[in-house]
Amino acid sequence: MNLLLDPLFRVRLPEQTMRVSLPELLALLGDDRVESLPGVQRHQEDALHIFLCYLAGAVLDRQGRQEPAQNAEFWRAGIRLLTRAEGCDNDDAWTLVVDDPTRPAFLQAPASSRAVFDRDYKPKASAPDALDVLQTAKNHDVKAARGHSGEAEAWCLALLTLQSQIGFLGAGNQGIARMNGGFGSRPCVAWQQCRRPGARLARDLPVLLAHRKVLLAEPHPYVANGRVLLWIVPWDGQDSLALAALDPFFLEIARRIRLVASAGGWQALAATASVPRVAAKPQKGNLGDPWIPINTKTGGALTVPASGLTPDLLRNLLFADGGFTPAAMQEAPTGQGAGWFSAAVFVRGQGTTDGFHETAIRVPEKARRVLVGAGPARDRLAGLSRTGLETASAIQYKALQPALFALLEGGPEAISIDKREIKQWVESAAAPFVRDWNPRYFDWLWSTLEQPDDTAALQPWFDILRALAESTLERAFTRVPLRSGRNYRGQTRARALFFGSLKKNFKHYMEVSNELS
């Protein structure tokens, strides 16, 4: 299956669904004719998008072009010129299965000899989804190895996701360079004017090409016309490529993988590597990738914690606050209309994945104008966003959780927060409050632009939080374990603590709420 010639990718157009080659896919995206890509799973979308952007960016740079809208023949010829310039004289580097293991295959580095290949490579996966980045211990949400071993598109996407998203996973299983450490994650944070795949490519490619000038200057070590296709040169797992030999748009591979023919389809073989493909450990993933924000405290790429894309983290990324330098792709362009602030990431643990997290926050036109500007309006919005989060935290930890402790403990004079079982129950009972206010946060924040008085702007947010917290407490009354003779006392004490804390910490807002009720 040759990606440059054979119809591999399923695309849904307004008039039909069809399969197209890689150059044809780039042409259709450039013309914004693609409605969707049915074969691409959600967790693979960003990996494919970034791959296409880097590849198209390298081809356009070599051809002295800027416009993303090009025909398929342009892309095919440009990819072949790039491939030959890097040492592969045919289409092997774009073919999924190449019988000679000393030749490159798509995202598969060649071995230095047949003997090395026979010695090192062992069976890895018999189905494409078993090769993907998702690590599961049991067949729960997504069944393992459910894909057919002959599905070329599925193998292609699984390879692409693995080679561009995976982290360290035990001795010899190396991770990508664009990640802060082996247990980090590779986030994709960007502004989207339109969520169609073609419009996304058309917006991101010019930003990427403009960002190239930054990447070719200090402190980045890249060189113009450096290596882009890192799977062409042999790799036996003993040596790494230096950043100084690479193009800013380099397409990396993390693992030694080889697809081979098997009974009824294909299978993946894998070999370990003693060192990563790219020597970039000191950079901590801070390699200039325009989709990755930088943590200014560590100097490394953003690593999203197990809690995921919380409103607190998203707020800090959106306002470039809280110790983050924004990604080049997330900066909203000047112009008219609403847009989307999007973020997605596979959160990784030690040998596990802690979930695929994604969000798309709609930013109205008025909020967009404030965000792209600088001055009092933006500073005020940033301040209100911080106060809104602090209010939610105060209601949770100063009012709701103490009330829940009192409820479970039967209404003592002084609650105890040290018992592990009680603490776990309280955290579980309080979880709906957090779950319910999270999706309301940014809608409230944008509404403050219509209210010039800060106190008045915060009042609706307090009312929302109070109602959600009170509802959470009332639900807890129905699920609390029975304590003979103390349930009524526990509920009474819980209500007293809850409303007493609100009156103490939010006296003004409580007075206004009571006047309106």
The mean pLDDT of the chain is 91
**With bands split at pLDDT 50, 70 and 90, how would you rate the model's confidence at 149?**
very low
Mean pLDDT of 158-177: 90
d(CA 270, CA 126): 12
- pLDDT at residue 412, as a whole number: 66
DSSP string for 83-117: HHHTT--SSGGGBS--S-TTS-BTTBPPPSSHHHH
Q: Hey, CA dihedral for 333, 335, 341, 344, is it positive or negative?
A: negative
Mean pLDDT of 80-86: 98
d(CA 72, CA 28): 8
pLDDT tens track for 351-376:
667 789 999 999 999 999 999 888 99
% pLDDT > 70, the chain: 93
> Residue 289's CB: how many other CB atoms inside 10 A?
25
Domain segments of the chain as ranges: 9-361, 374-516
Q: Are 134 and 41 in contact (CB under 8 A)?
A: no
Rounded alpha-carbon distances, angstroms, from residue 484 to 198, 403, 419, 490: 64, 19, 20, 11
pLDDT tens track for 375-413:
999 999 999 999 999 999 999 999 999 999 888 877 666
d(CA 385, CA 387): 6
- pLDDT at residue 170, as a whole number: 77
Is a pLDDT exceeding 50 seen at residue 145?
no
- pLDDT at residue 249, as a whole number: 98
DSSP string for 309-326: S-HHHHHHHHTT-SSEEP
d(CA 37, CA 28): 11
Q: Are 406 and 414 in contact (CB under 8 A)?
A: no
**With bands split at pLDDT 50, 70 and 90, how would you rate the model's confidence at 87?**
very high
In three-state secondary structure terms, 257 is strand
Lowest-pLDDT choice from 88-102, 251-265, 306-320, 348-362? 348-362
Radius of gyration from C-alpha coordinates of the chain: 27
Which residues, in sequence order, are CB contacts of 256 under 8 Å at separation 6+?
109, 120, 121, 235, 237, 270, 271, 272, 273
Mean pLDDT of 446-473: 96
pLDDT tens track for 247-295:
999 999 999 999 999 887 899 999 999 999 999 999 999 999 999 999 9
**With bands split at pLDDT 50, 70 and 90, how would you rate the model's confidence at 246?**
very high
- pLDDT at residue 486, as a whole number: 60
d(CA 94, CA 91): 5
Is a pLDDT exceeding 50 seen at residue 325?
yes
Mean pLDDT of 206-229: 96
